[in-house]
Structure 1
Amino acid sequence: MTCVLYDAHGLLGLDDPYSLVTLSRLLANGIVFTALLHWKNLDYRDLFHSSRAATAATMVVIVPLVLLATPCLFLLMGLVNRLLLAEFPMRAGMENEISSWLSAGLPQILLICVIAPVVEEMLFRGIILRSFLQQYERRYAILGSAVVFGFYHMNIYQLVGASLFGIVAGWLYERTRSLIPGIAMHAAVNTSVMLMAANAGAGAAESNSGFLVLLLLPAFPACYMLRRVLSGPGR
C-alpha cells in the first residue's frame, strides 16, 4: 500500500512522508480488517463491543476509571524504559528517528494518538486476543497476545513496555469484552509520550515529573476501584 501511494504521491499531493505513512497504514489496516471480519462472520460492532453490557455504561463507568489509572501504567513503563536505556544505550541515529516521529506535526499526531490506538487494539485485542481466549487458558492468552504486541514494535526499548501495556489492555478486554477501554488507555499513553517529547528541554524533566506526581494522586484509588468493578467473572 505504501509503495502504491508513493508512486502516486505526485497526483495525491503527499509530499510529506508522514502523511504518506499515515494514509497507507489506515488503508492497509482497513483492507486487513474487512477481510478478517468477513472471514470470521463478524461486524465492526461485534469487534468493538461484544459485551452484554451497554456501550454507554462502559463509556461512563469503565473508561473514566481507566483514564484516571493510566498514569500508574505510564510510570511503570517509564521506569522499565530507563532501566533498558541504562543497560543498552540507544544509538544516536535511532534517537533522531524517534524524535522525528514524535515531532508534533498533524500527520504524526493523527497516526500516533488516533489511528494507532484504534487499529492496534482492533488487531491485537479484537482479533488476536479474542482468538487466543477461545483456544488457551485466560492467563496464557493474555500473556501471549501481549508478547506478540511487544515484538510488533520491533525494538527492545518498546518491547518490554509494550508487553506490559498489552497485559493490562488484554486484562481489560477479557473482563469487559470491549475494545473501548483499551483504545482510551492506548490513546492516553501515546498522547502522554508525544506531550513529553514536545516539552523536552531544559527544566522540562522536573516539570513533567511534578505533573506526573499530581496525576498519580487519583490514579491509585482509580486502580483499586477498577479492580473492584471488574473483579467478577469475565463476560
Structure 2
Amino acid sequence: MAWFVELMLTMLLRPPLLRSGMQPMAAASLIRVACYGLVFSIMLHAGGSSYRKLFHEGAASVPATLGMLGPPILLMVPLILLLDGLAMIGLEALLPLSAADARMLTEMTGGGIGIWVLVCLIAPFIEEMFFRGILLRGMLRRYGPADAAVYSAFVFGVAHLNVYQFVIAFAVGLFAAELYCRTRSLWPGIVLHAGINTGVMISAALEPENTVLEAPVGVWALAIPLGLAGAWMLRRLLWRARGAGTTKSDTPPDAA
C-alpha cells in the first residue's frame, strides 16, 4: 500500500516540484515523507494507536533510553561498517557486480544534500517505523521473539532488492529487532540505522574507490576496541534492564 501511494504521489507531485527548481532527490525525500506519513497515520488510526505508542512504549523515558543506549550503539558503528566492507568483498568475489549494480550503488552514495537527507534521516525513521514498529510487532503476536526477529530481518534484507545489501540489512535487522524487543522502543534502532547509513555516506564521500582492506591500520586499531567496548556496554545495560524487569523480550508488545 505504501509503495502504491508513493507511486501515485510521485506521478502527481514530482513534475511540479522539479519545475519549481527542486533537486530530484530532494523531491523524492519530500514525497516519501508525505507518503509514509499518510499511510502510517491511516494504519495507526485504524488500529486505535498513535505515533507516540509506535515509537516508544518502554518503561524508561525516551531521553533515558537514548542516553543509556545511544553511546554504546554509536561506538559499535565503525566496527559494523568495517565488517560489512569485508562481507562486500567476499560477495563481490563470488558474485561480481554488474554494470547496473555498480551504477545503482554509486547513485545511492552520491548526489547532493537530497540523498544525504533521504539516506541518513528519512530512511532510518521510515524503515524502523515499518519493519520494527509495525512488521515486527505483528509477527511478535504470532511467533516467538527469535522467529519474529529472523522473519522481520529477512524481509528487511530482501526489501533492499540486491544481494550486496541483503547481508548487512539482515544483520542490522536482527540487531534492531533485539533492541526493540528489549526496550519496547524504536529509538535505539533509529540511532543504529542512522549511524550506519551516515557512516556509509561519509566513507563513500571521503574514499569512494577504496575498499575496507585499504583502510589505515589506525582505523581498525580504533574501531575494534571501541566496537567491542560498545557491545560490552550494551549487553550489560540491556541485561541489567531486563533483570530489573523493565523489559521482557519474551512477551510480545501490543500491536500498533
1:223 corresponds to which of 222, 231, 253 = 231
Contact kept? 1:6, 1:20, Cα under 8 Å:
yes
Matched residues in 2 for 1:216 and 1:131: separation?
Answer: 36
Any idea what SS the aligned residue of 1:135 has?
A: coil
Would the aligned equivalents of 1:196 and 1:208 in 2 still touch at CA under 8 Å?
Answer: no
Contact preservation (8 Å) 2:69, 2:188: yes
1:134 and 2:141 are equivalent in the alignment: yes
Q: Normalized against structure 2, the TM-score is what? A: 0.85
8 Å Cα contact 1:66/1:222 also seen in 2: yes
Q: Please state if 1:213 is matched with 2:221.
A: yes
In the alignment, what sits opposite 1:88? 95
* Secondary structure in 2 matching 1:51: coil
Aligned amino acid, residue 217 of structure 1: P
**CA shift for structure 1 position 189:** 0.4
Q: 1:9 to 1:213 in 2, by over 3 A?
A: same
Q: 1: CA distance between counterparts of 2:217 and 2:20? A: 43
* Alignment partners' CA distance in 2, 1:56 and 1:194: 27
Pairwise CA distance, 1:152: 0.6
Return structure 1 stretches of 4+ with deviation > 6 angstroms: none
Q: Does 1:7 align with 2:11?
A: no
Unaligned runs of 5+ in 1: none
* Residue 130 (structure 1) shift: 1.2
For 2:157 and 2:26, locate their aligned partners in 1 and report how far apart those are by CA, in whole Å.
25
3-state DSSP of counterpart to 2:207: coil
| Shift in alpha-carbon separation, 1:21–1:10, aligned structure 2, 3 A | closer
Report the RMSD for the aligned CA atoms in angstroms: 1.9
Q: Identity, % of aligned pairs?
A: 38
Q: Counterparts in 2 of 1:170-181, with a 5 A limit? A: 170-181=177-188
Check the 8 A contact 2:72/2:229 in 1, yes or no. Answer: no
1:37–1:12 Cα change, 3 Å: farther
Question: Is contact 2:78-2:199 (8 Å) kept?
Answer: no
The question of whether the paired residues in 2 share the 8 Å contact of 1:104 and 1:194 is answered with: no
The residue correspondences of 1:78-227 to structure 2 (distance < 5 A) are 78-200=85-207, 206-207=214-215, 210-227=218-235
Whichever residue aligns with residue 229 of structure 2, its letter is P
Aligned residue for 2:141, secondary structure, equals: helix
The residue number in structure 1 matching 2:5 is none
Q: Name the TM-score, length of structure 1 as normaliser.
A: 0.92
Q: CA separation in 2, counterparts of 1:175 and 1:203?
A: 37
